[in-house]
Chains A and B, each alone.
Chain A
């Protein structure tokens, strides 16, 4: 076995071990108690989980389609800024965005319940869908539009014969991804839902464990969540597309369609609707928080803890992700390759609440869980960041290998010399991007910290949640702005890295 294979086997073992360590104790506990958590509550929660995910997905896609089309065919002033703003909901911690949404709705309409959850999911996922669709539309060769102009295609012809065939192949993948994100989402439902009528599996697991102290029910809910997310991940993987979340900020393809007045009005309207969904909550975060930031010791300590956990989790996740992605790209470990691909998605198949519950149950038999809290949070965040690390890294590794493998093999460049001279310099940008993505995910995480957190271990999202829970909304707004600025800084760096990666 080569050193690379040994490293890959260790990384795979660590990820699968963490998953098993979370899942097996739950299964054991559920079996020991005869799965007594199976009652009318389970189908109700499953039904609500699916209902809110379905509605959120459909509405997000219906809004995103005309918006993506409008942005694709118009090179208007502010296009780049709009696309950058559309990245913020993707990168913004859920709890910060929710605070913004609450700020906008406050005094106008109640945001709690199904409609609030759907609105929040639409806020998060419409920009994601727009960006994914836009990369597909950007990929259409310019000659197709020149040909359409020569053949006098109407706007409808252009959509039916050129745009839709390109989008259709990606649509199932985008829909599955959004459905999965809405199913596994935690913070939105925890804050805007949470009552018996508006609880998803993920939140119900948390409530069973932390509020009701009912591990038997938590284990049944966790099993249901595992099965549901497992199916959704497989479906999302089946329909996965090559689309990236970093489309071109400037339209480079000259378009000849969409010149009629009605098309221009429709496009403006679509962009305006999307901007109205995205901008007010973002502005609300800034306006509400700007003069409310209190640099107390609690805030500074929470910021320090968030950065420490984010940095550590991103490092761990990057090491795991790089090793696994390299092994998968090189087809190392032979038939184990599909397992590696699934392992990279472990935190989506086995959502954090499930893993954390299992770890909690397993560890509490032997030791005081509080002793290992920070290690558990870092490890859980590292697993949660893995899909986001994988996404920029895996294609870059495949491309680099295709370029360099034969030349390196012929020159005997292997091991450390290859890592130092070739792989690291070539992969520096995607590695940096992956690290930033991992850190953004970890900085915004609420699920691991609310399960394992304590008075001694408070991150920025946990502090916001506590401040909201004690109705100190002004303090929460200030803390949210600090967290938003941290994420915004990292996001700007990530976008710059992505842009320079495209130029490289």
Chain B
């Protein structure tokens, strides 16, 4: 589904290079030290950063020249996932049409998505009037209505408590299964990847140093740098 071939990117003094492949429907966690290039990896896939060279393919098609909105990707950020001056419903509806010209069928899709993430009662509220967890649900509902096959999560639940984080991960996993989404999630909480991902990528110094099945990643036999990072 997603294939990165020698994708190079320079950030200040660091030259990053990513080679990576993940099939459709997989959930991969991305872990690594701060400044290693985890978020850059997601930004390159989403089209927010332009690589120096290399190819980024979705289902075999090179996406290098496509702007973010024309890629089969929805990205959920750590914050600023909603427009604070617009109500919840409009924030989600923008995922279907920037001009908000919606047919009855599309309006129903927005309502369904809000129902699915448990925000039906908040649709006319502003993001400033709801909790942190509910704000991230707006982004998830918008990802649902956009219906793109790839979901990128850039530390979206960092600000939430453990129980709420688990609840969100359950929601993401349920959506992933029902829509057969390919999910790539950057996180600083190893337990989140252990809970949700089938494989884990360890990013270090601008490269994917290891890409292992989750069980192997957290096993005592994992490579030294992973154990060192996890504090094992």
Interface residues of A (CB under 8 A from B): 402-404, 406-407, 409-414, 417-418, 421-422, 425-426
Contact = CB atoms under 8 A, between A and B. Distances in A.
A414 B80 CA distance: 18
Contact of B77 (A407, A411, A417): A407
Contacts of B16: none
B86 A412 contact: no
Given A403-B80, A417-B98, A421-B100, A409 B68 contact: yes
Given A409-B67, A410-B68, A410-B74, 13 more contacts: A406-B75, A406-B77, A407-B82, A409-B47, A409-B48, A410-B69, A410-B75, A411-B69, A414-B98, A417-B99, A421-B90, A421-B94, A422-B83
Given A409-B48, A410-B75, A411-B95, A421 B86 contact: yes
A413 B99 CA distance: 8
Contacts of A404: 80, 83
A135 to B, nearest CB: 24
A410 B46 contact: yes
Contacts of A414: 98
Contacts of A412: 67, 69-70, 98
Contacts of A406: 48, 68, 75, 77, 80
A179 to B, nearest CB: 37
Nearest to A424: B85
Contacts of B214: none
A313 to B, nearest CB: 29
Given A406-B48, A425-B85, A411 B98 contact: yes
A239 B98 CA distance: 42
A425 B95 CA distance: 19
10 contacts: A403-B80, A404-B83, A409-B67, A410-B46, A413-B94, A417-B98, A418-B98, A421-B94, A421-B100, A426-B85
Contacts of B68: 406, 409-410
Interface string B177-204: 0000000000000000000000000000
Contacts of A403: 80
A339 B210 CA distance: 47
Contacts of B48: 406, 409-410
Nearest to B148: A410
Interface size bracket, B side = 20 to 34
Interface string B57-82: 00000000001111001110100111
Interface in B114-150: none
A316 B164 CA distance: 51
Contacts of B86: 421, 425
Nearest to B70: A412
Which secondary structure dominates where chain B touches chain A?
loop
Nearest to B81: A407
A406 B73 CA distance: 13
A454 B102 CA distance: 57
B98 A413 contact: yes
Contacts of B94: 411, 413, 421
Contacts of A402: 80
Nearest to A422: B83
B78 to A, nearest CB: 11
B80 A407 contact: yes
Contacts of A426: 83, 85
A254 B182 CA distance: 52
A421 B97 CA distance: 12
A409 B77 CA distance: 13
Contacts of A422: 83
Contacts of B47: 409
A418 B69 CA distance: 14
Which of B74, B75, B82, B99 is the most central at the interface, judged by chain A CB atoms within 10 Å of its CB?
Answer: B99
Which of A411, A414, A418, A421 is the most central at the interface, judged by chain B CB atoms within 10 Å of its CB?
Answer: A411
Contacts of A411: 69, 94-95, 98
A406 B98 CA distance: 14
A410 B80 CA distance: 13
A417 B85 CA distance: 15
Contacts of A418: 98
A422 B80 CA distance: 13
Contacts of B83: 404, 407, 421-422, 426
A409 B85 CA distance: 18
Nearest to B75: A410
A147 B104 CA distance: 61
B74 to A, nearest CB: 7
Interface string B83-96: 10110001000110
B226 to A, nearest CB: 30
A240 to B, nearest CB: 25
A36 B67 CA distance: 60
B142 to A, nearest CB: 8
Which of B81, B85, B86, B95 is the most central at the interface, judged by chain A CB atoms within 10 Å of its CB?
Answer: B85
